[in-house]
Amino acid sequence: MADHPGPSLERGTSVSCPRGPDGGIPRATMQTVCMASQLSPAVAANGLTKSYGPLEAVRGISFAIAPSECYGFLGRNGAGKTTTMKMIYCRIARTSGTLDVLGLDAAVSAREIKSRIGVVTQENALDQELTVMENLLVYGSFFGLRQAEAEKRARSLLAMMSLTGKERAKYKELSGGMRRRLVIARALVNEPELLVLDEPTTGLDPQARLMVWETLNGLRDRGLTLIITTHYMEEAARLCDRIAVMEEGRIFAEDTPAGLVQRFAAAEVLEVIAEPAHADALAQTEAFDGLVRRRERHGDVTYLYTDDNRALLARMAQAGLDSRRHVARVATLEDVFLNITGRGLGE
Amino acid sequence: MNPITALVGRNARLVFWRNFLAWQKYAVSSVAINIIDPFIYFLAIGLGLGAYVTLTGHGTLMQFIAPGMLGMAVMNAGTFDSCWGCFERLNFNGVYESMVTAPVDPLEIAAGEYLWQAFRAILYGTLFLAAVAAFGLIHSWWVLACPLVFALGGMAFAVPGFYVAMIVAIQEHLFFYFSFVVTPMLMVGGVFFPLDRMPAWVAAIGWCTPLYHAVAACRQLLVGAPTLQTGIDIAWLVVFTLAMMFVPRRVLRRKLGN
């Protein structure tokens, strides 16, 4: 991983991140990743853009995903994640830049790419007029599978997804979790080299989500390259080797989950709930220097990012600052995300 | 990818197979709906009104409208599902969206749909034909060639219907196509009455519709050997269908392509 200089630790909503000339992550980052894996990337994009008329959905992003890696696009709605995914699975054409999937140009070899990848789309994913088994057989047939072979694979995939016994069930009889598992099963019917999942757990209840996570972890362990989008921090932290945080069509930061926390938050965070006057005092005091790596303020809450909450609380007591109302916790990707994208709705 | 060569490709057959699997689940009601409608028209007009009316130079009303109703059955078979069905498969049921994540070209989806509509037209047309046979209205073994006309007619209606389903934004807009194109075709297609006493321009409009040629070809095959005119009707349907297949290319690219 390329080592970026850490961002400014002073308070403020804007953080700086070194950018390449195209506004994306510098090329050096990608090269480092690919050299480390000694293989050509599963997906490589450079200066990739997508415009819908005047609307720029993706504004020049560059990334390289290594084989067997689980790579996540994290961002809120409208950040450009789904558009990026659609370009990867050749559903829409790029406007400019380059995009190679499995070493093939997405603009030229869409059909071959589609035959070698698996796709789990966000919605509208299953054929609602067909049964579970028919969904798998029809879909498999488009990849040139003979009926017997497709049926064999379908049965083992249904077993793997805990859907055995549901072969003849209709779409309407399946729960949300079952539907999502079926879409994942269907995406695996052609034994893909790369699996693309657009928000695989959105709208699922906790049990169903856990089951999807287990499934994806299992696939990752088997060496399948995974690309997922999510706006769940927990999901990204659990599943992804590396994460690209997207905002307004750009990749704002790209790193391992731990690396992102290190760069954009700290090991721990102390949330101090304070009235404005007190909060101003927290913002001004110099006493924390060296202990507080980053400060954010939102409404009544001041977020003090530190590597040692206990020491910080002791220092606050020394300085005579009121810290009676606080939450001391470990920093998470959520903090990273909020620090990068701001705490407003951004709409 | 060429919309005509796509018709003979494997993926078109797989799209057909997919539609067949879905249709199986409601086949009985689908058959009933598609047969009962024209059959009631046939009884009401042929038997009911026919008891009072004879068409000068065209025999009994029943004999005249039987092929007209055949054409209508084929038109309905080829139009309804290509409009409503394809609209749903594009927008609601995730059918096409699933297909294009697999290595399937939108033109192959279209080709599969055309084949499927042709099958529906053959099925419903033939069932209706069997009902008509019971009234002693078939006078020639050439009637066995009718399914060919059904297939061509079904496709001739399926291609524009499919195109309309692809371009409309909301389902209700499909009614415009029915109200302003499909239903008026019944007036000028030689279904209920011959066009020889109509003003020339009405007959001219009629000649430009696929319904007119499907009905005319069926009418001839019910009573005897195909004539040169029948050959022209069939050729008209073939040329119209193949030419129309090039129309939806852009909208397919936009909605389902990459």
> Chain B closest CA to A296's CA: distance in Å?
43
ipTM confidence score? 0.90
pLDDT digits (tens, 9 = 90+) for B17-34: 999 999 999 999 888 888
Give the model's pLDDT for residue A37. 47
> What percentage of chain B exceeds 90 in pLDDT?
76
Asked if A150 and A229 sit in the same domain, the reply is yes
Are B14 and A129 within 8 A, CB to CB?
no
State the residue range of the domain holding A160. 30-255
User: Which one of A50, A142, A184, A194 makes the best mutation probe of the B interface by having the most chain B beta carbons within 10 Å?
Assistant: A142
How does residue A5 score in pLDDT terms, banded at 50, 70 and 90?
A: very low
pLDDT digits (tens, 9 = 90+) for B203-238: 999 999 999 999 999 999 999 999 999 999 999 999
Q: Which value, in Å, is the radius of gyration of the alpha carbons in chain B?
A: 18
Single-letter residue type at B143: V
Q: What is the distance between the alpha carbons of residues A175 and A171, in angstroms, rounded to a whole number? A: 9
Q: Give how far Cα B167 sits from Cα of A92, A125, A137, B96, B104, Å.
A: 18, 22, 30, 15, 20
Give the model's pLDDT for residue A49. 97
Q: Looking at the domain assignment, is residue A25 inside a domain? A: no
Q: What is the distance between the alpha carbons of residues A162 and A140, in angstroms, rounded to a whole number? A: 19
Helices (H), B1-145: 10-24, 27-41, 61-80, 86-91, 95-99, 106-133
All residues of chain B having their beta carbon less than 8 Å from the beta carbon of residue A129 are 21-22, 25, 93, 95
Are A125 and B94 within 8 A, CB to CB?
yes
Q: Looking at the domain assignment, is residue A231 inside a domain? A: yes
- Smallest Cβ–Cβ distance between B102 and the set A93, A125, A143 belongs to A143
What residue of B is the nearest CA neighbor of A87?
B258
What residue of B is the nearest CA neighbor of A124?
B94
Asked if A36 and A83 sit in the same domain, the reply is yes
Asked if A226 and A302 sit in the same domain, the reply is no
Asked if A243 and A162 sit in the same domain, the reply is yes
- In this structure, what CATH number is given to the domain that contains residue A245? 3.40.50.300
> Chain B closest CA to A147's CA: distance in Å?
12
How many domains are contained in chain A? 2
Are B101 and A128 within 8 A, CB to CB?
no
> Chain B closest CA to A285's CA: distance in Å?
56
How does residue B10 score in pLDDT terms, banded at 50, 70 and 90?
A: very high
Q: Looking at the domain assignment, is residue A73 inside a domain? A: yes
Are A115 and B93 within 8 A, CB to CB?
no
Q: What is the distance between the alpha carbons of residues B138 and B160, in angstroms, rounded to a whole number? A: 31
Give the model's pLDDT for residue A1. 37
> Chain A closest CA to B2's CA: distance in Å?
15
- Asked if A273 contacts A326 with a C-beta cutoff of 8 angstroms, the reply is yes
Give the model's pLDDT for residue A347. 39
Are A89 and B22 within 8 A, CB to CB?
no
Token look-up 């022209």 returns B232
Q: Is the pLDDT of residue A8 over 60?
A: no
Residue with the larger pLDDT of the pair A94 and B46: A94
Asked if A66 and A40 sit in the same domain, the reply is yes
pLDDT averaged over every residue in chain A:
84
Q: What is the distance between the alpha carbons of residues B214 and A50, in angstroms, rounded to a whole number? A: 47
- In this structure, what CATH number is given to the domain that contains residue A283? 3.30.70
Residue A141 sits at the chain B interface (C-beta within 8 Å)? yes
Taking residues A72-77, what's their average pLDDT? 90
Are B101 and A115 within 8 A, CB to CB?
no
Give the model's pLDDT for residue B231. 97
Give the A:B interface size as CB pairs under 8 Å: 65
Q: What is the distance between the alpha carbons of residues A249 and B99, in angstroms, rounded to a whole number? A: 28
Are B98 and A126 within 8 A, CB to CB?
yes
Are A127 and B25 within 8 A, CB to CB?
no
Taking residues A297-311, what's their average pLDDT? 87
User: Which one of A94, A112, A124 makes the best mutation probe of the B interface by having the most chain B beta carbons within 10 Å?
Assistant: A124
> What percentage of chain A exceeds 70 in pLDDT?
86
Give the model's pLDDT for residue A38. 56
Q: Is the pLDDT of residue A44 over 90?
A: yes
Q: Is the dihedral of CA B18, B22, B25, B27 positive or negative?
A: negative
pLDDT digits (tens, 9 = 90+) for B175-202: 999 999 999 999 999 898 888 888 999 9
Residues 195-254 of B with CB under 8 A from A: none
Are A115 and B103 within 8 A, CB to CB?
yes
How does residue A124 score in pLDDT terms, banded at 50, 70 and 90?
A: low
Give the model's pLDDT for residue A125. 78
DSSP states of A80-115: SHHHHHHHHTTSS--SEEEEEETTEETTT-HHHHHH
pLDDT digits (tens, 9 = 90+) for A83-97: 999 999 999 999 999
Q: Give how far Cα A194 sits from Cα of A191, A222, B22, B82, Å.
A: 9, 12, 30, 35
Q: What is the distance between the alpha carbons of residues A310 and A57, in angstroms, rounded to a whole number? A: 44
Q: Is the pLDDT of residue B51 over 70?
A: yes
> Phi, psi at residue A204, to the nearest 5°?
-95, 150
Taking residues A321-328, what's their average pLDDT? 83
Residue B105 sits at the chain A interface (C-beta within 8 Å)? yes
Taking residues B76-102, what's their average pLDDT? 93
Give the model's pLDDT for residue A27. 40
Are A111 and B103 within 8 A, CB to CB?
yes
Structure tokens at B257: 């392509």
Q: What is the distance between the alpha carbons of residues A124 and A198, in angstroms, rounded to a whole number? A: 12
How does residue A213 score in pLDDT terms, banded at 50, 70 and 90?
A: very high
Give the model's pLDDT for residue A231. 81
How does residue B125 score in pLDDT terms, banded at 50, 70 and 90?
A: very high
Residue B14 sits at the chain A interface (C-beta within 8 Å)? yes
How does residue A225 score in pLDDT terms, banded at 50, 70 and 90?
A: very high
Asked if A100 and A226 sit in the same domain, the reply is yes
Last residue of a domain, one of A255, A285, A309: A255
Asked if A109 and A185 sit in the same domain, the reply is yes
Residue B101 sits at the chain A interface (C-beta within 8 Å)? yes
Give the model's pLDDT for residue B165. 96
Q: Looking at the domain assignment, is residue A346 inside a domain? A: no
Give the model's pLDDT for residue A287. 60
pLDDT digits (tens, 9 = 90+) for A143-193: 999 999 999 999 999 999 999 999 999 999 999 889 999 999 999 999 999
Domain limits, chain B: 3-256
